[in-house]
């Protein structure tokens, strides 16, 4: 097992490098960029869709907006006519575009190996501090969504499999199908309308993760306030996720229940509970574990973008989306690097969990 773990960790290195290389190459051909964005701001041609640039007084992360005048010159940057070529070169140097692409990529990967993610182009803060600031929101949403989804889906799926075709199975399937059909963001809007002062009740807060008087609350009050703010976002996120997981669990258990070894176990006089949880559970849970890495990463990082936006929760999903729009490449690539690394590690943990659920699985016999 140790040899397998070492091989998997060694394979993470070229995998992460490949992901970063492909993404870096795509960015080189993408229209627009941080230089064009600054030029657009200076010339009044427009701004980003989010327009959330910190640092007042017209300062772009330490870059002055005032540009010396000059004769119109041809430039590779759209909208740069009328700006001094020396100023354009200063912009390129500021963002590191004065060097060839391969040098920029190698430097970026060397810095990332040391977990040095640099500073945001348009926010006067380091990227690691920015990510750490947004992390509590994403951890809160992802952690509780994952726990609640699995806590509901697995028992419900098992109950549906055991009662296959019963009235309970039919009615719960109807509820699950409706839950799966409603997008999480639409359900979030419905919850706001009904329970957050939209048209009916004002039982839950509309925005944020904590109240304004958070520091004044006792420990118990802080815990209640925290879950009070999370109630609606988590409910809207869990709806679609638990529907998929419950049906997957049911189908997996049904497939195992109909196999010959289950019939044999029953003929030996084992109770239904013993058959279900000693024999069927171990085999049926393998497919659930297989889908855990993608569900985990999606819940923590990518799956909460719309929910963060609707409930004004400033997390990693919203940060990544805004960084792409703003062409804030240090934040974009740092998020991609961390997400890829976390996804690979969770994938490895998922494989190791196989051996815990079913000791018959031996990864040492595999090449990778």
Q: What is the pLDDT of residue 14?
A: 92
Q: Report residue 156 as tokens.
A: 């419900």
Q: What is the pLDDT of residue 82?
A: 58
Q: Report residue 48 as tokens.
A: 């980003």
Average pLDDT along the chain? 77
In this prediction, residues 40-63 reach a mean pLDDT of: 48
Q: Report residue 50 as tokens.
A: 């989010």
Asked if residues 156 and 246 have their Cβ atoms less than 8 Å apart, the reply is yes
Asked if residues 3 and 357 have their Cβ atoms less than 8 Å apart, the reply is no
The Cα–Cα gap between 133 and 127 comes to 10
Cα within 13 Å of Cα(334), Cβ side: 25
The Cα–Cα gap between 344 and 12 comes to 7
Q: Report residue 142 as tokens.
A: 């992802």
Asked if residues 172 and 249 have their Cβ atoms less than 8 Å apart, the reply is no
The answer, as to whether pTM is greater than 0.85, is no
Q: What is the pLDDT of residue 38?
A: 73
The Cα–Cα gap between 260 and 120 comes to 60
Q: Which run of H or of E encompasses 270?
A: none
Q: What is the pLDDT of residue 326?
A: 81
E strands, the chain, in order:
59-60, 63-64
Residue 60: phi and psi, rounded to 5, are -100, 80
Q: Indicate the SS3 state at residue 72.
A: coil
Following DSSP, what letter does each residue of 101-170 receive, concatenated? HHHHHHHHHHHHHTT---B-SSSSSBHHHHHHHHHHHHHHHHHHHHHHHHHHHHHHHHHHHHTTTSHHHH
Span 172-194, pLDDT tens digits: 888 888 877 888 888 888 888 88
Burial 142-175 (b: 16+ CB within 10 A, else e): bebbbebbbebbbebbbbbbbeeeeeebeebeee
Q: What is the pLDDT of residue 361?
A: 67
Q: Indicate the SS3 state at residue 256.
A: helix
The Cα–Cα gap between 337 and 342 comes to 9
Asked if residues 123 and 328 have their Cβ atoms less than 8 Å apart, the reply is yes
Give 18's pLDDT tier (boundaries 50, 70, 90).
Answer: very high
Give 68's pLDDT tier (boundaries 50, 70, 90).
Answer: very low
Span 242-288, pLDDT tens digits: 787 888 888 888 888 888 888 888 888 888 788 887 778 877 877 77
Q: Report residue 150 as tokens.
A: 């699995």
Rg of the chain over CA atoms, in angstroms?
A: 26
Q: What is the pLDDT of residue 33?
A: 74
| Measured CA distances, 78 to 45, 67, 98, 185 (Å) | 10, 16, 17, 37
Give 363's pLDDT tier (boundaries 50, 70, 90).
Answer: low
Task: Write down all domains in the chain, each with its CATH number in brackets.
Answer: 33-127 (no CATH), 128-365 (1.10.3720.10)
In 3D, which of 62, 59, 66, 58 has the Cα closest to residue 83?
66
Q: What is the DSSP letter of 71?
A: -
Does 79 or 147 have the greater pLDDT score?
147
Q: Report residue 293 as tokens.
A: 């890495």
Does 47 or 10 have the greater pLDDT score?
10
Q: What is the pLDDT of residue 110?
A: 92
% of the chain with per-residue pLDDT over 90: 4
Asked if residue 330 has pLDDT above 60, the reply is yes
Q: Which run of H or of E encompasses 10?
A: helix 2-29
% of the chain with per-residue pLDDT over 70: 79
Own/partner long-range contacts of 114-118 (Cβ < 8 Å, ≥24 apart): 117/330, 117/333, 117/334, 117/337, 118/330, 118/334
In this prediction, residues 198-207 reach a mean pLDDT of: 78
In this prediction, residues 36-65 reach a mean pLDDT of: 50
Q: What is the pLDDT of residue 63?
A: 41
Asked if residue 43 has pLDDT above 70, the reply is no
In this prediction, residues 30-46 reach a mean pLDDT of: 69
In this predicted structure, which of 22-31, 69-78, 120-129 has the lowest mean pLDDT? 69-78
Span 98-118, pLDDT tens digits: 788 888 899 889 999 888 888
């Amino acid at each position: 097992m140790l040899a397998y773990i070492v091989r998997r960790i060694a394979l993470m290195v070229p995998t992460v490098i490949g992901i970063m290389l492909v993404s870096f190459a795509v960015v080189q051909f993408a229209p627009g960029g941080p230089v064009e964005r600054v030029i657009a701001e200076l010339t009044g041609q427009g701004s980003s869709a989010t327009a959330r640039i910190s640092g007042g007084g017209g300062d772009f992360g330490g870059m002055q907006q005032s540009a010396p005048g000059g004769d119109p010159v041809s430039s590779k940057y759209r909208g740069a006519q009328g700006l001094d070529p020396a100023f354009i070169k200063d912009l390129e140097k500021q963002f590191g575009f004065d060097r060839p692409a391969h040098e920029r990529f190698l430097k970026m990967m060397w810095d990332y190996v040391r977990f040095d993610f640099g500073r945001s182009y348009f926010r006067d803060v380091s990227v690691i501090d920015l990510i750490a600031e947004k992390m509590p929101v994403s951890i809160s949403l992802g952690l509780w969504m994952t726990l609640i989804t699995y806590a509901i889906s697995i028992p419900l799926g098992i109950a549906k499999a055991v009662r296959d075709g019963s009235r309970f199975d039919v009615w719960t399937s109807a509820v699950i199908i409706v839950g799966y059909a409603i997008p999480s963001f639409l359900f979030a809007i419905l919850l706001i309308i009904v329970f957050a002062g939209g048209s009916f009740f004002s039982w839950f807060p509309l925005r944020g993760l904590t109240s304004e008087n958070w520091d004044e609350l006792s420990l118990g009050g802080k815990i209640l306030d925290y879950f009070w703010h999370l109630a609606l976002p988590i409910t809207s996120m869990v709806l679609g996720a638990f529907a998929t997981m419950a049906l997957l669990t049911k189908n997996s258990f049904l497939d195992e229940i109909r196999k010959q070894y289950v019939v044999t176990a029953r003929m030996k006089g084992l109770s239904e509970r013993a058959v279900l949880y000693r024999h069927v559970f171990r085999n049926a849970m393998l497919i659930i574990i297989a889908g855990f890495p993608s569900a985990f990463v999606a819940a923590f990082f990518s799956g909460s973008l719309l929910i963060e936006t609707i409930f004004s929760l400033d997390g990693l999903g919203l940060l990544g989306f805004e960084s792409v729009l703003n062409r804030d490449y240090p934040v974009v690539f740092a998020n991609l690097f961390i997400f890829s690394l976390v996804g690979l590690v969770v994938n490895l943990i998922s494989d190791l969990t196989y051996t815990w659920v079913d000791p018959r699985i031996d990864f040492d016999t595999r090449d990778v």
